[in-house]
Amino acid sequence: MSDNSPDLTKLFDAVLVGDAKAALEITNAALAAGVDPQCLITEQMTPAMDEVGKRFENHEYFVPELLIAARAMKGALEIVRPLLVDRGVEPVGRVVIGTVKGDLHDIGKGLVASMLEGGGFEVTDLGVDVSADTFVEKAQEVNASIIAVSALLTTTMTGMKAVVEAVQAAGLQQACKVIVGGAPVTQQYADSIGADGYSNNASAAVALARQLVA
């Protein structure tokens, strides 16, 4: 690396503290200097988001810190991802995520989506109030390995079972795993509906998704 090459550890730091402007500037400078875009993700962005996740687990970071770190990472990722697509670089896995039918809560689901992107996954966010059929159709369309379903209301949790059943009806249960989460959801509930995994926070969801695609 020549003397005028950017210091890539600054990208790690920018994501860690959620400095979106710096993350963009460093990413652009690195690409202009000929740095491999894949390296930016695997050596700086993903480790930074892993550290964010660790700090969250240790109660050093809270949801606001997670959100601003995820936003910084997402901005940088938007510049890098098209370059990887052009080169045919495959993501760690493909995830279709959404909030279950009848539920309009977005923040938790959005956070998990951002953390998954930071973890190297290609994420299709279907938004809120998503039917079981829509989850399955999109998963087939993008060749997803994981469907992630969120609910914040006890009244809408039952929709998660419908997603699991729709995946089974489509014969996708081997190829595509269903993970669930949200305030009222428990491991016990996930087991009772036949989901493949449960996570109680965004950081743990990334670890779970990696485990399932490994």
Determine the structural domain holding residue 131 and report its residue range: 94-213
Residue found by looking up tokens 């699991």 in the block: 164
Determine the pLDDT at residue 1. 47
Last residue of a domain, one of 33, 53, 87: 87
Q: What pTM, to 2 d.p., does this model score?
A: 0.88
Check residue 130 and give its pLDDT.
Answer: 98
Are residues 107 and 203 both part of a single domain? Answer: yes
Please say whether the beta carbons of 151 and 103 come within 8 A: yes
Same-domain status, 206 and 107: yes
98 touches 69 (CB < 8 A): no
Q: How many domains does the chain have?
A: 2
- Name the token pair of 151: 């609910």
pLDDT at position 4 is 63
Question: Are 39 and 118 in a shared domain?
Answer: no
Q: How far apart are CA 93 and CA 84, in angstroms?
A: 14
The answer to whether residue 100 sits within a structural domain is yes
Same domain, 110 and 209: yes
In the beta sheet, which residues pair with residue 197? 179
- Could you give the angle at which helices 132-142 and 158-169 cross, rounded to 10 degrees? 40
Regions of the chain short of the pLDDT cut 70: 1-5
For residues 118 and 205, membership in a common domain is answered with yes
